Amino acid sequence: MPANTTAIAKIFFIRNLLNLFLDAIITFYKKKFHSSNFDLTIDFIMIFFLMRDKLISTMLSVIFLILSILSGAYFVLINIASPGTFLGTIFSFSAVWLLIAVFFALLFVFERQKILKKILLGISKTSKIILVSFICAGVFIAGLNLFFICTPRLSDGNENVRYVIVLGGGITKDAKLTDSVQNRVRVASEYLKSHPTSLAVVTGGKGKFAPCPESDVLKPVLASYGIDENRILAENKAKDTIQNFMFSAELFAEHDGISVEEVLASPVAIVTSDFHIARAERLASRMGFSDVYGVASKTPPLFILNSYCREICSYVKLNLRILLTGKPKHL
């Protein structure tokens, strides 16, 4: 019997089995349908079985292409909304989205060229188990850290706070505040107005690719919201959040003529973006601030995904640093 005749015979055999199976179900539930009503359904099922490899390959290709386009578009959008220098963009976390776009573009090409299947078949079972285990562990660790990031200690506005630390978050290449930092300044002004005896420090030195120290931009913007400049101290040397807290404590102590230890023992409010509150509080506590209140500003919708993904990485990095080195320590 010719090969094509055998294949057709097998198809009709499977088709008849499906017919019998569906008729049995119908009889069991006592529904009045004629088996001919299911011809179209059976034909569709048969086509799927015969073309399933092609369909799966096409679906994967479409998914890879869509993810590549979305990642690339997101990279472009967030850099248009918050423009930086070329080197600043390349070395910022946002470049991850460009790398993801390239990664999925390669997967798309590999799938269309039938290379991906060969690669997967060439990986040993043990290697696959190890790879899947690492991915599952990574997802678990990321999820656990995201939980802590989303559950900080937040201010209710009723605390009696003398010191307010306004954390910076970057400026554009034109020495303007990003939307995220602009929100921090606005929230800080509202908090300072409701706590008229408090003293603020705006923090941020000159970043590697920044045109000027961030605090030089933060102070006049905060003052423009109606806050007396005499209540605003500028810390312009810090390169990271740890230095932000260290130099801020020294500025408060110098201004009020007290020791750093007395500053650390006083209630302190930290104004920063919602995604950053938990890590900022953890750092402040590690450095000796005994009574910390988080004052959160909203992250602009466009930056939520990028900000929280970056913060997960930063939070994991902080926990590893504490575990391995015990730093940062009490001032």
State pLDDT tens for residues 283-310.
999 999 999 999 999 999 999 999 999 9
- Pair (221, 318) in one structural domain: yes
- Given a contact cutoff of 8 angstroms between Cβ atoms, the answer to whether 215 and 230 are in contact is no
Flag the least confident range among 86-100, 133-147, 157-171: 86-100
- Residue 179's identity, in one-letter code, is D
Flag the least confident range among 22-31, 216-225, 310-319: 22-31
Q: Does 88 fall in a domain?
A: yes
Residue 30: the pLDDT is 47
3-state secondary structure of 125: helix
- Pair (93, 193) in one structural domain: no
- Given a contact cutoff of 8 angstroms between Cβ atoms, the answer to whether 295 and 187 are in contact is yes
DSSP class of 157 = S
- Pair (118, 179) in one structural domain: no
Report the distance separating Cα 174 and Cα 166, nearest Å.
21
Enumerate residues 6+ apart whose C-beta is below 8 A from 186.
225, 297
Report the distance separating Cα 279 and Cα 262, nearest Å.
23
Rounded to 10 degrees, the C-alpha dihedral 245/247/253/259 comes to 80
Query: Which pLDDT band holds residue 210 (cuts at 50, 70, 90)?
Result: confident
State pLDDT tens for residues 243-299.
999 999 999 999 999 999 999 999 999 999 999 999 999 999 999 999 999 999 999
Residue 81: the pLDDT is 85
What total number of domains does the chain contain?
2
DSSP class of 84 = -
- Pair (173, 277) in one structural domain: yes
Residue 47: the pLDDT is 57
Is the pLDDT at 37 greater than 70, yes or no?
A: no
Half-sphere exposure of 26 (CA within 13 A, CB side): 14
- Pair (204, 310) in one structural domain: yes
Enumerate residues 6+ apart whose C-beta is below 8 A from 114.
none
Half-sphere exposure of 259 (CA within 13 A, CB side): 4
Q: What share of the chain is helix, strand, coil (3-state, %, to 5)?
A: 65, 10, 25
Rounded to 10 degrees, the C-alpha dihedral 171/176/181/182 comes to 180
Bridge-based pairing state of the strands 291-297 and 267-273: parallel
Residue 117: the pLDDT is 80
Give the range of the structural domain holding residue 63, as residue numbers without chain letter.
3-122
Report the distance separating Cα 305 and Cα 100, nearest Å.
14
Is the pLDDT at 224 greater than 80, yes or no?
A: yes
- Pair (116, 168) in one structural domain: no
- Pair (168, 316) in one structural domain: yes
- Pair (198, 77) in one structural domain: no
Tokens representing residue 111 in the block: 């799938």
For residue 261, give the CATH number of its domain. 3.40.50.620
Report the distance separating Cα 248 and Cα 170, nearest Å.
18
